């Protein structure tokens, strides 16, 4: 698979807020992990995120349902 296809077909995560004010924080790759993007979701809102060459981790604060290739996970409980 070429590099462009890898960017498009990377792992996706679906996050559905179960309460108002759920924070989603994207963390960078590299020597020093840093915040590079934040989102705030209200109850019922959905964010579809992708791990990329820049994003190595996603931190979730609050009650949310997370769907990914590994199954369903609940945060904030």
Topology of 3-68 in CATH?
Immunoglobulin-like (2.60.40)
Measured torsion, CA atoms of residues 59, 63, 65, 66, in degrees rounded to the nearest 10: 10
Q: Taking a C-beta distance cutoff of 8 angstroms, is the pair 63, 43 a contact?
A: no
Q: What are the sequence ranges of the domains in the chain?
A: 3-68
Q: Could you read off the pLDDT of 45-75 as tens digits, one per residue?
A: 999 988 777 777 889 999 999 999 889 999 9
Q: How many CA atoms lie within 13 A of 48 on its CB side?
A: 4
Structure tokens at 62: 């609050």
- The pTM score is 0.78
- What's the Cα-to-Cα distance from 76 to each of 1, 11, 53, rounded to whole Å? 37, 23, 28
């Amino acid at each position: 698979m070429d590099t462009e296809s890898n960017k498009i077909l990377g792992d996706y995560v679906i996050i559905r807020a179960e309460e108002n004010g759920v924070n989603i924080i994207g963390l960078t790759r590299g020597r020093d992990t840093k915040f590079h993007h934040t989102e705030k979701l209200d109850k019922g809102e959905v964010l579809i995120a992708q791990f990329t060459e820049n994003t190595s981790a996603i931190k979730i604060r609050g009650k949310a349902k997370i769907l990914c290739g590994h199954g369903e996970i609940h945060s904030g409980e």
